Amino acid sequence: MRNQWKPKASDPRYCETCNRRLERKRNKSGRLEGFRDFLRRRFCSLSCANSRSKGGTSRKAYHYHARKFRNYCCECCGTEKRLQAHHIDTNWKNNDPANIQTLCIYCHQFWHKTHERCGAVPTGPMPKLVSYEQVKTANVSANDNKEAMNDAA
């Protein structure tokens, strides 16, 4: 009587898909499945385990859907390699096309790390980056316009 077996008490467990109460299964020889195997099990049957609705959509699925809205090039630097979908409002569940900005991996990391260093949250899209040549040609054309306005006056 001293070493008598007592059933192990555990909280009732339920299937993650259909919320049916999980019971320990019996194998073909009539023995109960091991208690560790029972505690590891998350679904009542193979059909529940193979169903697509396992408690909501995963983060990976949200990112997959966000990638569908990507453009062919980075909206900041114009490169066509290593593109990522950036969520402007930082909510990865918001896959509204107006909330997705296409950035290369370098611009994306720069944008988030800059805000992280400042202790701020990105509130808008990353602005378009301009090169030194574009700034120089813009200054030259602005100076030409000033000279033309001075000559006209």
| pLDDT tier at 37, thresholds 50, 70, 90 | confident
* Cβ atoms of residues 82 and 104 within 8 Å: yes
Q: How far apart are CA 33 and CA 117, in angstroms?
A: 53
Q: How far apart are CA 26 and CA 37, in angstroms?
A: 12
| pLDDT tier at 148, thresholds 50, 70, 90 | low
Q: How far apart are CA 131 and CA 133, in angstroms?
A: 5
| pLDDT tier at 139, thresholds 50, 70, 90 | low
Instruction: Please report, for the chain, the start and end positions of each structural domain, with discontinuous segments joined by +.
Output: 11-56, 59-118
Structure tokens at 12: 């009732």
In whole numbers, what is the pLDDT of the chain averaged over residues? 78
Range 59-68 average pLDDT: 79
Please report which residue ranges of the chain form alpha helices under DSSP H. Answer: 35-40, 46-49, 59-67, 105-118, 132-152
Q: What is the pLDDT of residues 79-119, one digit of tens each?
A: 888 998 888 888 888 888 888 899 999 999 998 898 888 88
Nearest to 22 by CA among 5, 47, 3, 40: 40
Residue 132 has pLDDT above 80, yes or no: no
Structure tokens at 60: 């990976």
For residue 81, give every residue at least 6 positions away whose Cβ sits within 8 Å of its Cβ, in sequence order, or none: 104
| pLDDT tier at 121, thresholds 50, 70, 90 | confident
